[in-house]
Structure 1
Amino acid sequence: MSDIRIALYQPDIPGNTGTILRLAACLGFKVDIIEPAGFVLSDKNLRRAGMDYLASVAMTRHVNWEQFEAWRRGEGRRLVLASTRAAVSYVTFGFRPDDILLFGRESAGVPEAVHEGADARLLIPMVAGQRSINVAMSAAMMAGEALRQTAGFAAL
């Protein structure tokens, strides 16, 4: 059974966060929010995109990167970062059932120290000249591939 988690580094946009929480609820993922967020993390701010799915998702809030990293290292989990600066495509990467898929801020990604601290950095290939795919769409694409590879869909 898959125990893949989605982590959001200081998310900026409540609608994207709500959409990712809804995705996680439907696929059985747990979500880690690494604060501070660019908005107040409240049901009101997340409700429009997350709808009534918010009650079904297990979400853990970490007050900062350092707390998240201490928890992750204690759990012995691999951190897989989605990055436009990566060289490895997410479809050629070998996911594991206990990976944490990390997605950066919509406005700025992640700081260099976080980028370098990831165990793997993955790219979603795009047409030349395009900057990035919406973070919620990126999370869905990578989560789907990770579930496919780890037979997580069979458990749903």
Structure 2
Amino acid sequence: MLNIVLLEPEIPANTGNIGRTCVATNTRLHLIEPLGFRLDEKALRRAGMDYWKDLDVTTYIDYQDFLDKNPGAKIYMATTKAEKVYTDVAYEEDCYIMFGKESAGIPEEILVENQENCVRIPMVGEIRSLNLGNSVAIMLYEALRQNQFAGMNLEGHLHRLEWNK
């Protein structure tokens, strides 16, 4: 099972959307405090819809608490400062993909300590970053693809409609 880690997320709608994506992909969500909202906030519930109750979510008091409770975890860190592109790495089926808060990303001191595991999503121009929910979806689905979408529905079925004559 893959893991998404949000370090100090600030916007409840982003976290709600990410929670919904995690439920749809059987991915664990890890939230590292401080959060910019309360977990019972209306905007979070609205974005996560009725899926939030099915989410496998763990909260941590800080980054060190997260590390202490997940020893030996393989953590990839999403940042615009990385030299490698997110498609350049092979995601293990139980790895962690970490994203920083919307206003500042992952702190530089954490990135420097983990430089070999930093990855970026390519963009043109001087745009600061993509939306957090979009970034999570892009990288999570690449990791799922590399793991052959294990346990996921791979085909849909259209229903044939009969038209009245």
**How far is 1:27 from its partner?**
0.4
| Cα separation, 2, equivalents of 1:50 and 1:92 | 31
Q: Name 2:128's counterpart in structure 1.
A: 131
Residue among 136, 140, 148 paired with 1:143: 140
**What fraction of aligned residue pairs are identical, expressed as a percent?**
38
Q: Deviations over 1:50-84 (max 9, x none)?
A: 000101110000011110011122xx210100000
Q: Which deviates further from its counterpart, 14-23 or 39-48?
A: 39-48
1:43 CA drift (Å) = 5.0
- The answer as to 2:151 corresponding to 1:155 is yes
User: In structure 2, what is the Cα distance between the partners aligned to 1:116 and 1:31?
Assistant: 24
Moved over 4 A (4+): none
CA deviation after TM superposition for structure 1 residue 45, in Å: 3.7
Q: TM-score, normalised by structure 1?
A: 0.92
Unaligned runs of 5+ in 2: 153-165
> Is the helix fraction higher in 1 or 2?
1
Tell me the C-alpha RMSD between the 2 structures: 1.2
1:120 aligns with 2:123: no
SS of 1:102 mapped into structure 2: strand
Q: How many residues align?
A: 151
Establish whether residue 24 from structure 1 lines up as the match of residue 22 from structure 2: yes
Look up the SS of the partner of 1:91 in the other structure: helix
TM-fit CA distance, 1:7:
0.5
2:67 corresponds to 1:69 = yes
Q: Which one scores higher on RCO, CA 8 angstroms, separation ≥ 6?
A: 1
Aligned equivalent of 1:36: 34
